[in-house]
């Protein structure tokens, strides 16, 4: 049966973390008995399949495009309107034609900016089709929508070229212009002669190619805006959207992300789930706060041994999978050090790679020295157009090839890059993990949910005070996580002072050697200059 499951492709429920989060939301709402729908597109190339060929990422599939974004919101709103009209709640009319109660019956959560076109689309339906006056339509629309922001990186916030929107959705562009004009008129009445404020808060960015700022559209068209972790929500209010937060502070709030324990414990780690149920009962499946009852067993040697046994069984099972798929023999008693998430500079897979090279050099320098055997497992996809992320994948694979074939190193250190990281693969690696890498630069990770999945399955966390790591440290006690590196305020101060990479290169011999090896072609002897862009980025554009 397991072999058949391997052949069956994962359901394409979303692209990356946002899609996985949406699936966890649906699981939670279903468990709570809430009347909720999740709308998405069913199409063959929803998530590209990552292929690693000679260390390079290749992908099969298509990018998320404006047409697809509009298609899903248009179909969704048509279904919502149809359901609203059909459910008359005591009305004697054949269909409901009055929309005053629409926000009381319908709440639409915008999961980041991708469905932002739902705002002008609902306005189009109300104004053009249902013939509502603009002010009434806008009031209903604003009370219907709420917006979740998932990133603090300006380049990750969608901005569609006005020319493209005019070509594909001319009526929607007219509506966006009207929304923007009324929005700017309101700001001008509160802050007369503040032209710079109008520019910062406009839905239309004028510099160079005119673009629609979809995050601004979401904020203006929603009654609530939330970040997805305490630290992220503060950054949203004080930095990313500070003008909007100053205008409507009551609109901004925090809703820390979460995960479903049904999938990320019961389904993927039945051994641990059963062990917990034996001690505290099965109610924790619906109320995860009951896990605090496990406190009374921290000194129970038998229970601790049973937990360790389950972990080891999961590691043996995953080691066999890796040997079968990657033809690399893994020591299941080694530390499984796992870093799986989207490949991005701020998530710092490159820093992890520098650590791998440093460990490799230490073993080579003194092979007789005691070294805790470690299997480093990295996985994740790079956006198809993201050159540096694809270079990082290539570097990790190049380092893995050298490390895994060095007889001096042997079984002390192995490196695996998981091809095509996906939900079904996550369900295998997470229960087997000893050390969870959550090492983003402080102030860049909105929340993260992988951090929660690993901790729920008994992995220790090494990480920065970023995203949901902060709240995990508050809950578990900072002494129970390996917290390192700068805090958000330290990063801000370093940005202000200026970061000099050369200083660290000159002062840290092991770091210098690792970078020199990358630069010299040690890991790419056939193409010595292959990673020059990576080295150049480390010295001049590192973030």
For the segment 386-419, what is each residue's pLDDT rounded down to a tens digit? 999 999 999 999 999 999 999 999 999 999 999 9
Do the domains 64-223 and 331-540 sit in the same CATH topology, yes or no? yes
Residue with tokens 């999978």: 321
For the segment 323-361, what is each residue's pLDDT rounded down to a tens digit?
Answer: 999 999 999 999 999 999 999 999 999 999 999 999 999
The distance from CA 94 to its chain's CA centroid, rounded to whole angstroms, is 45
- In percent, how much of the chain has pLDDT > 90? 83
- What is the pLDDT at residue 6? 59
Distance CA 102, CA 114 (A): 23
342 is catalytic: yes
Pick the CATH number of 331-540 from 2.40.50.420, 3.40.50.2000, 3.40.50.300, 3.30.1490.150: 3.40.50.2000
How many Å from the N-terminal Cα to the C-terminal Cα in the chain? 46
List the structure tokens of 94. Answer: 């054949």
> Domain map of the chain by residue range?
64-223, 331-540
449 is catalytic: yes
Q: Any residues with CB less than 8 A from the CB of 315 and at least 6 apart, and which? A: 332, 333, 336, 432, 434
For the segment 364-388, what is each residue's pLDDT rounded down to a tens digit?
Answer: 999 999 999 999 999 999 988 899 9
Contact 34, 26 (CB under 8 A): no
Q: Which of 20, 114, 124, 150 is catalytic?
A: 150
DSSP three-state, residue 281: coil
Distance CA 421, CA 381 (A): 7
For the segment 413-460, what is each residue's pLDDT rounded down to a tens digit?
Answer: 999 999 999 999 999 999 999 999 999 999 999 999 999 999 999 999
Whether the pLDDT of residue 117 is over 90: the answer is yes
List the structure tokens of 412. Answer: 């002390």
Q: Which of 172, 211, 216, 342 is catalytic?
A: 342
- DSSP symbol at 9: P
341 is catalytic: yes
526 is catalytic: no
Of the pLDDT bands very low, low, confident and very high (cuts 50, 70, 90), residue 63 is: very low
- DSSP symbol at 61: S
The distance from CA 18 to its chain's CA centroid, rounded to whole angstroms, is 6
- In percent, how much of the chain has pLDDT > 70? 92
**DSSP strand pairing (204-205 vs 211-213):** antiparallel
- DSSP symbol at 11: P
**DSSP strand pairing (145-148 vs 56-60):** unpaired
Of the pLDDT bands very low, low, confident and very high (cuts 50, 70, 90), residue 61 is: very low
Whether the pLDDT of residue 140 is over 60: the answer is yes
Q: Which of 159, 183, 453, 461 is catalytic?
A: 453
Residues counted in the chain: 543
401 is catalytic: no
- What is the pLDDT at residue 53? 76
Give phi and psi for 266, each to the nearest 5.
-60, -50
Residue with tokens 């009445």: 189
Q: In 87-169, which residue ranges form alpha helices assigned H by DSSP?
A: 102-105, 118-124, 134-144, 162-168
Give whole-number Cα distances, 305 to 337, 428, 537, in Å: 21, 21, 46
Residue 112: name the closest of 203, 241, 228 by CA: 228
Distance CA 321, CA 375 (A): 14
Q: Which of 159, 341, 381, 390 is catalytic?
A: 341
Pick the CATH number of 64-223 from 3.20.20.70, 3.30.2010.10, 3.40.50.2000, 2.40.50.100: 3.40.50.2000
150 is catalytic: yes
Q: Which of 183, 347, 355, 412 is catalytic?
A: 347
Q: Which of 433, 449, 461, 464 is catalytic?
A: 449
* DSSP assignment string, 387-415: HHHHHHHHHHHHHHHHHHT-TTTGGGEEE
Q: Any residues with CB less than 8 A from the CB of 108 and at least 6 apart, and which? A: 80, 118, 144, 145, 146
Q: What is the pTM of this model?
A: 0.89
CA R_g for the chain:
26
For the segment 328-337, what is each residue's pLDDT rounded down to a tens digit?
Answer: 999 999 999 9
Of the pLDDT bands very low, low, confident and very high (cuts 50, 70, 90), residue 27 is: very high
Give whole-number Cα distances, 157 to 116, 160, 407, 478, in Å: 11, 10, 47, 32
Work out the number of other CB atoms within 10 angstroms of the CB of residue 26: 16
- 198-232: b or e for each residue (b if 16 or more CB lie within 10 Å)? beebbbbbeeeeebbbbbbbbbbbbbbbbbbbbbb
């Amino acid at each position: 049966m397991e072999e058949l499951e391997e052949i069956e492709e994962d359901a394409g429920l979303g692209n990356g973390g946002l899609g996985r989060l949406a699936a966890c939301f649906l699981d939670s709402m279903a468990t709570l008995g809430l009347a909720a729908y999740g709308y998405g597109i069913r199409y063959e190339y929803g998530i590209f399949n990552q292929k690693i060929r000679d260390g390079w990422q290749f992908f099969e599939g298509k990018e998320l495009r404006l047409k697809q974004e509009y298609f899903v919101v248009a179909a969704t709103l048509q279904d919502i309107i149809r359901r609203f009209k059909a459910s008359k709640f005591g009305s004697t009319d054949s269909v409901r034609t009055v929309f005053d109660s629409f926000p009381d019956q319908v709440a639409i959560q915008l999961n980041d900016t991708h469905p932002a076109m739902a705002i002008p689309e609902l306005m189009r339906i109300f104004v053009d089709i249902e013939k509502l006056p603009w002010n009434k339509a806008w009031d209903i629309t604003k009370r219907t929508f709420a917006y979740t922001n998932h990133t603090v990186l300006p380049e990750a916030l969608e901005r569609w070229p006005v020319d493209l929107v005019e070509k594909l959705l001319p009526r929607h562009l007219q509506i966006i212009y009207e929304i923007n004009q009324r929005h700017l008129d309101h700001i001008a009445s509160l802050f007369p002669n503040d032209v710079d404020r109008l520019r910062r808060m406009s839905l239309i960015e004028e510099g160079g190619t005119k673009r629609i700022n979809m995050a601004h559209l979401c904020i203006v068209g929603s009654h609530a805006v939330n970040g997805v972790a305490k630290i992220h929500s503060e950054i949203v209010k004080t930095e990313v959207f500070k003008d909007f937060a100053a205008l409507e502070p009551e609109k901004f709030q925090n809703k820390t992300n979460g995960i479903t324990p049904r999938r990320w414990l019961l389904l993927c780690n039945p051994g641990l789930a059963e062990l917990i149920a034996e001690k505290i009962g099965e109610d924790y499946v619906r109320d995860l706060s009951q896990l605090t009852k496990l406190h009374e067993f921290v000194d129970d040697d038998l229970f601790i041994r049973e937990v360790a046994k389950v972990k080891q069984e999961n590691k043996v099972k995953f080691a066999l999978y890796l040997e079968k798929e990657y033809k690399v023999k893994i020591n299941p008693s080694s530390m499984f050090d796992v870093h799986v998430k989207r490949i991005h500079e701020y998530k710092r897979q490159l820093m992890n790679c520098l650590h791998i090279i440093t460990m490799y050099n230490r073993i080579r320098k003194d092979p007789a020295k005691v070294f805790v055997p470690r299997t480093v497992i990295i996985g994740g996809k790079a956006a198809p157009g993201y050159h540096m992320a694809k270079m990082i994948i290539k570097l990790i694979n190049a380092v893995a090839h050298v490390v895994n074939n060095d007889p001096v190193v042997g079984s002390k250190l192995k490196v695996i890059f998981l091809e095509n990281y996906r939900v079904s693969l996550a369900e295998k690696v997470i229960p087997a993990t000893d050390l969870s890498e959550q090492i983003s630069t402080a102030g860049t990770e909105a929340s993260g949910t992988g951090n929660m999945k690993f901790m729920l399955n008994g992995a220790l966390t090494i990480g920065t005070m970023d995203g949901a790591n902060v709240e995990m440290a508050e809950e578990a006690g900072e002494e129970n996580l390996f917290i390192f590196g700068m805090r958000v305020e330290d990063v801000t101060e370093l940005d202000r002072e200026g970061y000099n990479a050369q200083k660290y290169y000159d002062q840290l011999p092991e770091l210098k050697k690792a970078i020199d090896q990358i630069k010299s072609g040690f890991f790419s002897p056939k193409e010595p200059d292959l990673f020059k862009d990576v080295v150049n980025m480390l010295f001049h554009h590192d973030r």
